[in-house]
């Protein structure tokens, strides 16, 4: 994100068109794929978000900084996003800073409710220019004077080709423009408007609103299938080109030679990349062993064999199916996968249902087998065409409710900004039995969201009243079999982790309830948690 943020920053101060061109060309020649493609798309307006509302941004900042100090700062600076970027306090031990493709990818898949947490985490990890660029990107406020025409000129300069050559292929290219850059850098031929194996922009689903959508839509209009917990991919074999793309168009073929070898068809499929264990989907943690690598050796591929569970068929031979309704594409897909007879590429089965109630029940109690570890359900209108982006109505995702466990507060750390006087970051643990059969608490995660200001005051008092030891900003809190505080923790998923003593790491943990009433000995045990791994 650093280089992109720096570019935006400079473009914003540079009035001259020629100087803008120089800055753009310099950035495009140094930034990696697919980052530069997404950068180009967001600069030219081909990609835009309105993921964060000003009100939310202000509230998030006021949770970190005294509101009066924030107001004085805002008065002085004028611009809200800039103020927040400037005053957002550094968070010690924050995650590494997010890269642009990661931000784009997360925003395209996150529901509205997930965006605030994502945003706060990113703000914690970025520097001031990065925070400013991120907030401008999220509020759709990227006005730095780059027209599509200027972008094309920069590309022409980058590849030393006439602008007209760029224009000829431009309309057939989609962010993040991998083929375009490959051509401009003389790594491949000029892309044809119909270049075989090119990335086709992906169709995404809206998160369903349980309160309103079910009343509005007919169950008979929709097909349901499981949303598998891998990564969404597009696999192509066209005109001798074999490609494997992530949802954002990143070519990830190098890390998955086993999958590439299995693309023995002629067409383009949309599916979920998974690790297969005798025809069954393995948990996401297994797939992680293979992600973000430059290659894969035989041993790794044997331990974690990858494959695709197909959702959709976009091209069959030379025929583009995307304008056909889902029902027809689905029939073609079923026949296509059956003909293929591959143990690496199988079909994501449809889940029959008659009513929304029945489907809700299936979601809460999935049938035995792979659906038990699915992320949730997908709903697709039978008559929906394959439409890039995230149209409202044709496709919905309906994720499973978060997991809940009862954990025990073990450590507390002082917060930042408005919370700087409070112990607001909580490390919690669950019971674990040691070799002698003695029960002890083992930390399993950390949460700093999910409670009201009133609750925070009570939690803070509890921490101060029951401190056992202090280490700098951290206090250990009394927690034994007879005394302690139980926190109900909600989280999205669980992965194996060698970095955590407990061997597990949670995704998006937050406090869902404070169980002042619950005896500590009744908190959950590690094996309960470990069951969620499988």
Partner 1 sequence: MCFNALPRGPVVRTTARLARSRLMAGFRQLLRNTPEGLYCPPGDFHIDPVRPVTRAVITHGHSDHARFGHGAVLATPQTLAIMAARYGADFAGATEAAGYGQRVTRNAVDVTLVPAGHVLGSAQAVLRWKGVTAVISGDYKRRRDPTCPPFEPVPCNLFVSEATFGLPVFRFPDAADEVAKLLKSVTLFPDRTHLVGAYALGKAQRIIRLLREAGYGKTLYMHGAMDSMNALYQAHGIELGPLAPATDAAKNALPGEIVIAPPSAIADKWARRFADPIPAFASGWMMVRARARQRHVELPLVVSDHADWEELTGTFNQLQPEELWITHGTEEALLRWAALNDISATALEIAGYEDEDE
Residue window 24-63: x/- pattern of binding to partner 1, with contact defined by CB under 8 A? --x-------------------------------------
Provide, rounded to whole angstroms, the least separation between the CB of residue 414 and partner 1: 13
Question: Is the backbone of residue 361 left (phi > 0), alpha (psi -120 to 50) or beta?
Answer: alpha
Q: Which residue, 69 or 302, has its beta carbon nearer to partner 1?
A: 69
Rounded CA-CA distance 64/463 in Å is 20
Instruction: Select the residue interacting with partner 1 from 42, 83, 106, 413 (CB under 8 A).
Output: 83
State both tokens at 263. Answer: 């693309």
Q: Which runs of consecutive H residues, i.e. helices, occur in 227-281?
A: 257-261
Q: Which residue, 78 or 279, has its beta carbon nearer to partner 1?
A: 78
Residues 6+ apart with CB under 8 A from 228: 272, 274, 281, 309, 348, 370, 374, 375
Instruction: Select the residue interacting with partner 1 from 3, 29, 33, 82 (CB under 8 A).
Output: 82
Query: Tokens 């068809």 map to which residue?
Result: 265
Q: Which residue, 79 or 99, has its beta carbon nearer to partner 1?
A: 79
Residues 6+ apart with CB under 8 A from 115: 51, 52, 107, 138
87 touching partner 1, by CB under 8 A: yes
β-pairing, 504-507 with 439-447? unpaired
72 touching partner 1, by CB under 8 A: yes
Provide, rounded to whole angstroms, the least separation between the CB of residue 77 and partner 1: 6
State both tokens at 507. Answer: 């995704």
Among the listed residues 372, 355, 388, 361, the one whose alpha carbon sits nearest the alpha carbon of residue 222: 355
Q: Which residue, 83 or 246, has its beta carbon nearer to partner 1?
A: 83
12 touching partner 1, by CB under 8 A: yes
Considering only the stretches 45-53, 75-83, 164-172, 389-397, report the one whose residues sit in contact with partner 1 under the rule CB under 8 A: 75-83
Stretch 119-178 residues interacting with partner 1 (CB under 8 A): 127-128
Considering only the stretches 19-27, 266-274, 333-341, 520-528, report the one whose residues sit in contact with partner 1 under the rule CB under 8 A: 19-27
Query: Tokens 């935006």 map to which residue?
Result: 8
Interior/surface letters 199-210, b for 16+ CB within 10 angstroms, e for the rest: bbebbbbbbbee
Stretch 381-440 residues interacting with partner 1 (CB under 8 A): 421
246 touching partner 1, by CB under 8 A: no
23 touching partner 1, by CB under 8 A: yes
Q: Which residue, 21 or 296, has its beta carbon nearer to partner 1?
A: 21
Residues 6+ apart with CB under 8 A from 261: none
Q: Are 255 and 245 in contact (CB under 8 A)?
A: no
The contact set with partner 1 (CB under 8 A) reads 12-15, 19, 22-23, 26, 65-66, 68-70, 72-73, 76-79, 82-83, 86-87, 127-128, 421
């Amino acid at each position: 994100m650093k280089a992109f943020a720096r570019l935006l920053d400079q473009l914003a101060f540079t009035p001259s068109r020629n100087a803008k061109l120089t800055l753009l060309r310099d950035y495009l020649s140094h930034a990696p794929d697919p980052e530069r493609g997404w950068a180009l798309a967001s600069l030219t307006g081909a990609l835009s978000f309105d993921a964060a509302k000003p009100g939310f941004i202000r509230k998030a900042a006021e949770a970190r900084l005294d509101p009066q100090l924030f107001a004085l700062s805002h008065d002085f600076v004028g611009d809200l996003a800039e103020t927040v970027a400037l005053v957002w306090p550094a968070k010690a031990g924050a995650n590494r800073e997010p890269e642009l493709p990661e931000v784009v990818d997360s925003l395209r898949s996150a529901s509205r409710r997930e965006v605030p947490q994502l945003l706060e985490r990113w703000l914690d990890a970025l520097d001031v220019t990065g925070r400013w660029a991120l907030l401008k990107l999220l509020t759709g406020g990227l006005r730095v004077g780059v027209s599509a025409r200027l972008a094309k000129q920069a590309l022409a300069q980058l590849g030393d080709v006439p602008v007209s050559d760029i224009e000829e292929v431009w309309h057939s290219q989609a962010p993040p423009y991998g083929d375009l850059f490959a051509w401009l850098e003389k790594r491949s031929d000029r892309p044809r408007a119909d270049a075989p194996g090119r990335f086709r922009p992906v169709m995404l689903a809206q998160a369903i609103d349980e309160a309103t959508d079910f009343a509005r839509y007919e169950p008979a209009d929709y097909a349901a299938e499981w949303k598998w917990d891998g990564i969404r991919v597009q696999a192509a074999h066209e005109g001798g080109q074999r490609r494997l793309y992530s949802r954002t168009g990143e070519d990830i073929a190098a890390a998955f030679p086993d999958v590439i070898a299995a693309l023995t068809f002629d067409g383009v499929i949309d599916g979920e990349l998974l690790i297969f264990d005798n025809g069954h989907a393995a948990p996401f943690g297994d797939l992680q062993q293979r992600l973000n690598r430059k290659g894969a050796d035989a041993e790794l591929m044997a331990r974690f064999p990858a494959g695709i569970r197909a959702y959709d068929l976009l091209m069959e031979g030379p025929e583009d199916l995307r304008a056909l309704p889902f029902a027809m594409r689905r029939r073609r897909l079923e026949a296509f996968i059956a003909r293929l007879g591959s143990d690496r590429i199988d079909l994501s089965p449809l889940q029959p249902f008659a009513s929304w109630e029945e489907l809700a029940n299936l979601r809460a109690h999935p049938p035995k087998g792979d659906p038990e570890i699915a992320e949730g359900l997908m709903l697709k209108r039978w008559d929906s065409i394959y439409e890039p982006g995230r149209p409202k109505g044709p496709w919905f995702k309906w994720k499973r409710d978060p997991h809940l466990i009862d954990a025990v507060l073990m450590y507390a750390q002082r917060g930042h900004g408005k919370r700087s006087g409070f112990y607001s970051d909580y490390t919690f643990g669950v019971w674990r039995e040691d070799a002698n059969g003695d029960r002890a608490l083992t930390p399993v995660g950390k949460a700093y969201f999910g409670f009201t200001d009133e609750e925070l005051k009570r939690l803070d008092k509890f921490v101060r009243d029951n401190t056992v030891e202090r280490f700098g900003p951290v206090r250990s809190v009394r927690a034994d079999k007879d005394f302690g505080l139980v926190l109900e923790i909600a989280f999205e998923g669980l992965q194996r982790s060698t970095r955590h003593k407990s061997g597990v790491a949670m995704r998006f943990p937050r406090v869902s309830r404070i169980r002042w009433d619950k005896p500590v000995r009744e908190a959950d045990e590690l094996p309960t948690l470990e069951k969620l791994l499988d």
